[in-house]
Chain A
Amino acid sequence: GEDVEQSLFLSVREGDSSVINCTYTDSSSTYLYWYKQEPGAGLQLLTYIFSNMDMKQDQRLTVLLNKKDKHLSLRIADTQTGDSAIYFCAGQSGGSYIPTFGRGTSLIVHP
């Protein structure tokens, strides 16, 4: 099955770019997702990428996928204090429709 790893913490200054990294193990992964969890709330989908794409851009968000290295990243441009949250990477293995979640990266944005 899929295994997804992320670093646990990231601290940035307001206005800088944030890059959250994720690695996965299953080379047959089809979809890779980024979810955001604000304090006291459930997860909400931010963006996702299909495995035949290298990059996807959506306003301040850029997702990069390196299939060879099984590495996924989420870049947030012009990071704001409202971006402080936990970000989860999830990989959907080719053999299952249920994504496997990483442990989540806590993003702290300093004014």
Chain B
Amino acid sequence: NAGVTQTPKFQVLKTGQSMTLQCAQDMNHNSMYWYRQDPGMGLRLIYYSASEGTTDKGEVPNGYNVSRLNKREFSLRLESAAPSQTSVYFCASSEIRRGENIQYFGAGTRLSVL
């Protein structure tokens, strides 16, 4: 049981390059999320997917796109990377039961945009 797996773990991009961050979960969860973590800012929600086939914007969606490929996989794409997108990106998944939403996080992708 791997939980939530993110690839790659580290990435360096030049301004204007594109890349896709991959996330997969093996817990059969319906909901998946992408967050970014910046020093002193905590976790901010970029996009989420309540179930396969649906995606919604979070607090900071500009500059990002997502794809819920199937129930297991939720990818985050940067079409034209900017230095402001230098951050640590976390994917999470959850299954909401009786209203409680316990999220399970991946180990993160550390992205630098030069």
Contact = CB atoms under 8 A, between A and B. Distances in A.
**Are chains A and B native binding partners rather than an unrelated pairing?**
yes
Interface string B19-42: 000000000000101010000111
Nearest to B4: A42
B61 interface: no
Given A8-B40, A103-B40, A45 B106 contact: no
Contacts of A48: 100, 102
A40 B9 CA distance: 10
Interface in A1-58: 8, 30-31, 33, 40-45, 48, 50
A88 B43 contact: yes
Interface residues of B, number: 24
Please classify the interface of chain B as helix (H, G, I), strand (E, B), loop, or mixed, using the class held by over half of its residues.
Answer: strand
Interface string B40-76: 1111010010000000001000000000000000000
Nearest to B100: A31
Interface residues of A, number: 21
B41 to A, nearest CB: 6
Nearest to B106: A42
Contacts of B33: 98
Contact of B90 (A31, A43, A103): A43
A42 B37 CA distance: 10
Contacts of A30: 99
Nearest to A104: B42
Contacts of B40: 8, 103
**Pairs of residues from A and B, 4 with the lowest C-beta to C-beta distance, nearest first:** A42-B105, A103-B42, A101-B43, A43-B105
